[in-house]
Amino acid sequence: MIARAARGRAHRTNLLWLAALLHRVSGLGLAVFLPVHFLTLGLAIEGEARLESFLRWSDAPAVKVSEAVLMFLLTVHALGGLRLLAVENLAWRDGQKRNAALAVGFAGAVAVVFLAWML
């Protein structure tokens, strides 16, 4: 019984399945961020003092790290979407796993560069 359940989930160790999962999770993370972004825009409309207070809070190191995570999610989601467009509209080629791994590595590099630039 356990062996059959493990076989049923074996596909979850495939790099392309993990890339698809990361694409979906990054989309959810971006969807959670979007209301916060709109709240910030609303503060700008309400007045300069409230926006300035929020912007001072956003200078905290934890917020800067969160922004780097957001950049990672944004880059992963964009590259994952491009990968899906390529898979759906182009002929299948060897190296899909390599491309997915490169996309995650590139997204990580973008996040690190963004964090270094922000700090």
What pLDDT shows up at residue 28? 95
Residue type, 52: E
Burial grade of 95 (CB within 10 A; 0-12, 13-18, 19 or more): exposed
Q: What is the pTM of this model?
A: 0.73
**DSSP one-letter code for 92:** -
Among 100, 10, 37, 29, residue whose Cα is nearest residue 70 = 29
pLDDT in tens, 68-93: 999 999 999 998 898 888 888 888 77
Give the pLDDT confidence of 20-68 residue by residue, as tens digits. Answer: 899 999 999 999 999 988 988 888 888 888 888 888 998 999 998 999 9
Domains of the chain, with CATH numbers?
14-118 (1.20.1300.10)
Q: Which two tokens stand for residue 27?
A: 């989309």
pLDDT digits 0-9 by tens, 88-108: 888 877 788 888 888 889 999
Instruction: Give just the sign of the alpha carbon dihedral 17, 22, 27, 28.
Output: positive
